[in-house]
Structure 1
Amino acid sequence: MSTVTERRKTNTFYVILIAGAAALGGFLFGFDTAVINGAVTALANTFNANSVQTGLAVSLALLGSAVGAFFAGKIADRYGRVKAMVVASVLFTISAIGSGLPFTIWDFIFWRVLGGLAVGAASVIAPAYIAECSPANLRGRLGSLQQLAIVVGIFIALLCNYFIAVSAGSAEAPFLFGIAAWRWMFWTEIPPAILYGMAALMIPESPRYLVAQNREQEAAKVLHKIIGGNVLEKINEIRHTVLQEREPRFSDLLSRRGGLLPIVWLGIGLSVFQQFVGINVIFYYSSVLWRAVGFSERDSLWITVITGAVNIITTLVAIAFVDKFGRKPLLLLGSLGMTLTLGTLTSIFANAALDAAGNPTLTGSAGITALIAANLYVFCFGFSWGPVVWVMLGEMFNNQIRAAALAIAASVQWIANFIISTSFPPLLQYFGLGSAYGLYTTSAAISFFFVLFLLKETKGIELEDM
């Protein structure tokens, strides 16, 4: 009995190791999207960029991510998950070097879009690879590794920005070797980008990809390391669901009556709601947000770092419970919590007094209440819609359409992210914070009914049975 238990432990350790390596893509995804937070003002000043150019510098990378996500599935199906990860790692590295070396705002935007392609690819490949290499009983927890890696990446990027800016005096001041601090912010991404490529070269190819390529002996070796015992039955199951005469096409996602399959629409719905509750406003504009309600620059940066830490802790909560309680209960609980906390923020910001410049100012208990509500909102997102959406997208589609459906859902997620991120500054300027948060509250409320009436539980079901 003990040898069986030991072997199971060894297998579990191995699966965690390869899932962790794949999730490094998630770390870079978080790091790359958040690193610009500390450099925005310095960039605008260095290149005399207007607000439109600055906005594009922040958000065009997100459209690059949509493109990267859309094509990553095709590349992963043709050349394998591992090769796709290596390509993403190379793009991350080139983008990090280039973003710290720009001569104009336009070549900076080019390097950021290149990084965006890598982020989009990583957002599709990691959850697919992790879902395909995980036993059903561990899949939820391992799938949550992707979100954990993303939030750790965001946190580390914010922390690096903070220390570089504080050490140099400001983001524009010279740092090491007399080079401006904001350039170093982007260069801190180079080591993890290279590490991601090295890790990708050391992990096995997905057994489901190998079976699809008629490389069943290799698939058997990988599966033996993952689940142990006799793997022939598992190979037959995979062959049964995977082996079609042709590679998956986007036409597979269409129903007989035309239009997308209902399950694909559900994936798109999950992606849109994950963004429309406004989570990225907290991460891209948090320092702007807290300064708008009267906190100093240094305090705003610290609040941002604390929020990042809260996000990490709650993702660990999700990892502990996603396979115990299931996906649906966590999403419902999260929607409820976000509706209440966002509603509180909406009410506070809508009724706040305005200063001479027309910015809301929070005095006394209102400021503290807003801070608590904002961090509770991040907590509610962190244990539910943050990680669980990635878990669901990795496992809700059957083998035949997974890569193509994930590509569509992830692309829509980046477009939704782009819409929310680019609409926040004008919303803030013309309608005020109360209106912006009112929209996010409405989305959170609708997301509750979306999950309640339309979503099916996927806990504990083998991918072959989806």
Structure 2
Amino acid sequence: MATTPDDVPQQTEQDQSIQTAGPSTGRTVLVTATAALGGFLFGYDTAVINGAVKAVGEHFHTSPLVLGFAVAAALIGCAIGAWFAGGLADRSGRIRVMVLAAVAFAVSALGSGFAFSIWDLAFWRFVGGLGVGAASVIAPAYIAEISPAHLRGRLGSLQQMAIVVGIFVALLVDFALVAGSGSATAPLWFGLETWRWMFLSLLVPALAYGVLALTIPESPRYLVANQQQQKAAEILRRFVGGDVDGRIREIGRTLAGKAHRGSFAAIRGRSLGLLPIVWVGIGLSVFQQFTGINVIFYYSSVLWQAVGFTEKDALAITVITSVTNILTTIIAIALIDRIGRKPLLLIGSIGQFVCLGVLAFLFGTAPVVNGTPSLGAAAPIALIAANLYVVFFGATWGPVVWVLLGEMFNNRIRAMALSVAAAAQWVANFLISTTFPALASVGLGLAYGVYTFFALLSIFFVIRFVSETKGRELEEMV
């Protein structure tokens, strides 16, 4: 049932569910940070497997193919979880989806930690992937819907910050657990192997996310869509301010005629079956992955060893890269509401193109020794180029894509469009991650040449298709 624009009930003391107060930036930051915990779990869950994967293979005596499937099962779950999260969020609310994602994380942690075979481990990783996929949709949508326009970019960037911090913390936890036991296969507490505790450690942030999600208010856009205008008005007063009654009427206007809200029919269009704006969201998601960022994070240690660095130095470089990603996300938070989304994407695309081009040239022209390129004196240049690439990604495409996906769609289609775009992102992640070994076997120059090509394409994509959203209200999106 559509909301009529003038249907804004007056507040009554009996129905008041949230104490009226003026907008507070600190309060808004706390609420959005709670939603961004889903991003922390997103990063933590996808990274914690790094320290455990070798021990898992040894424990279950599995082949590399089956072990690879067990690892990839999480990415499959991510795509499926993202695909269905939007419809569920439209029907049941943003907060309930957060809680369900937290439950999926917790179940995955327990199941993986006590897995008795590689196959049930793959299943539990798949369940965790469902939670990751759902969190990747609901966090940017909720943050955009609860934030005032002038802060929305910075608050939306908290999603990417939470992801990279989650990755970093997972690596630290893995390191600390191994330092305590001696190896990932050694028993730690209660006779359980260390790799099991790596998975079980996810239980702590999962429970925190679920509990804290129950303390934050529902999205005002969802409440208006479900005829709870008074509650929506109170939330807007506390977190946004301004002409709240006018905002409620405007939200109601943008939701009018939403016969297909919560179904994929809402985003169907004449452009290959989808609305043009949805294709733009898919393009942003795919280009974010197709420039090869996850190759840096998933394969960096192996990569740097392959070109001549010692194992110790390669691990140190990986940690430096992770810290670099965190610091550059802070840069994005500082700039996104000043410079704007589109200029940052353009800067990032050009910077990534140059850095990846340097890497492709160095790897492609290096002499091959024992099957791998030997960079020699060019190794420091490659190291600088790789970390500058992370700087350009972390300050631009990493956080900006999540911000845009949360705010670029109108109220009627936001959750569903975000689901499709996020699912596309996970599919792109899967394709890049699984094809890198094959490309690298032909030559690292070829692999980085492919990523350079997509970085070049992303420049033209941003110029042609991406519209600036800085300072615009969500109700202005068409």
Task: Tell whether 2:391 aligns with 1:373.
Answer: no
Contact 1:33–1:154 under 8 Å retained in 2: yes
Q: Which amino acid aligns with 2:292?
A: G
Whether the aligned pair in 2 keeps the contact of 1:342 and 1:437 (CA below 8 Å) is: yes
Structure 2 unpaired stretches of 5+ = 1-19
Q: CA RMSD in A?
A: 1.7
Q: What does residue 295 of structure 2 align with? A: 281
Residue 401 of structure 2 corresponds to: 389
Shift, 1:21, TM fit: 0.3
Compute the displacement of 1:59 (Å): 1.8
Name the structure 1 match of 2:416: 404
Contact 1:65–1:118 (Cα < 8 Å) also in 2: yes
Bigger mean CA deviation after superposition, 369-378 or 383-392: 369-378
Match of 1:172 in 2: 185
**Secondary structure of the corresponding residue to residue 24 of structure 2:** helix
The runs of 5 or more residues in structure 1 that have no matched partner are 1-6
Q: CA deviation at 1:293?
A: 2.0
Which string of whole-angstrom CA distances, capped at 9 and with x for unpartnered residues, describes residues 163-209 of structure 1? 22233333223333442222121122111010000110000000010
TM-score of the pair, normalised by structure 2:
0.92
The 5 Å alignment of 1:131-170 reads 131-170=144-183
Q: Where does 1:67-466 land on structure 2 (aligned, <5 Å)?
A: 67-228=80-241, 230-244=243-257, 246-248=259-261, 249-256=263-270, 259-356=273-370, 358-363=371-376, 365-429=377-441, 431-466=442-477
Partner amino acid for 2:248? Answer: I
Structure 1 residue 247 displacement after superposition: 4.4
Report the counterpart of residue 28 of structure 1 in structure 2: 41
Partner AA of 2:316 in structure 1: W
For 1:456 and 1:163, the matched residues in 2 are separated by 45
Q: Give the drift of 1:244.
A: 3.1
Offset of 1:424 from its aligned partner? 1.3
Residues 128 and 394 of structure 1 are in contact (CA less than 8 Å); yes or no, is this contact kept in structure 2? Answer: yes
Match of 1:3 in 2: none
Q: Secondary structure of the residue that 2:144 maps to in structure 1?
A: helix
Partners of 1:140 and 1:398 lie apart in 2 by 16
Counterpart of 2:334, as a letter, is: A
Contact kept in structure 1, 2:23 and 2:241, CA below 8 Å? no
How many aligned positions are there? 457
Deviation at 1:229, TM superposition (A): 5.3
- Equivalent residue of 2:148, what SS? coil
* Deviation by residue 1:286-318 (Cα, 9 ceiling, x = unmatched): 222222223333332222111110000000000
* Letter of the structure 2 residue corresponding to residue 304 of structure 1: T
Deviation at 1:418, TM superposition (A): 0.5
Superposed displacement of residue 10, structure 1: 5.6
Kept after mapping to 2: 8 A contact 1:55/1:422: no
Superposition deviation, residue 230 in structure 1: 4.8
- Following the alignment from structure 1 to structure 2, what is the Cα–Cα distance between the partners of residues 360 and 268? 35
What do residues 358-404 of structure 1 show as CA deviations (whole Å, max 9, x unaligned)? 133332x3222221111111000001110000011111111111111
Q: List per-residue Cα deviations over 1:253-285 (Å, max 9, x = no partner).
A: 222576211111111100100000010111112
The amino acid that maps onto 2:160 is Q
SS, match of residue 332 in structure 1: helix
**Which amino acid in the other structure matches residue 415 of structure 2?**
A
Q: Structure 1 residues 387 and 154, CA, compared in 2 at 3 Å: closer, same or farther?
A: same
Q: CA–CA distance in 2 between the matches of 1:35 and 1:9? A: 41
Paired letter, 1:404: M
The more displaced of 333-342 and 35-44 is 35-44
Structure 1 residues 11 and 52: alpha-carbon distance in aligned structure 2, compared to 1, 3 A threshold: same
Is the 2:23–2:240 contact (alpha carbons within 8 Å) kept by the matching residues of 1?
no
Q: Structure 1: how far apart are the matches of 2:230 and 2:300?
A: 51
> SS where residue 149 of structure 2 aligns?
coil
Q: Percent identity?
A: 59
Contact kept, 8 Å, 1:268 with 1:409, in 2: the verdict is yes
Of 230-239 and 143-152, deviating more is 230-239
Structure 2 counterpart SS, 1:137 = helix
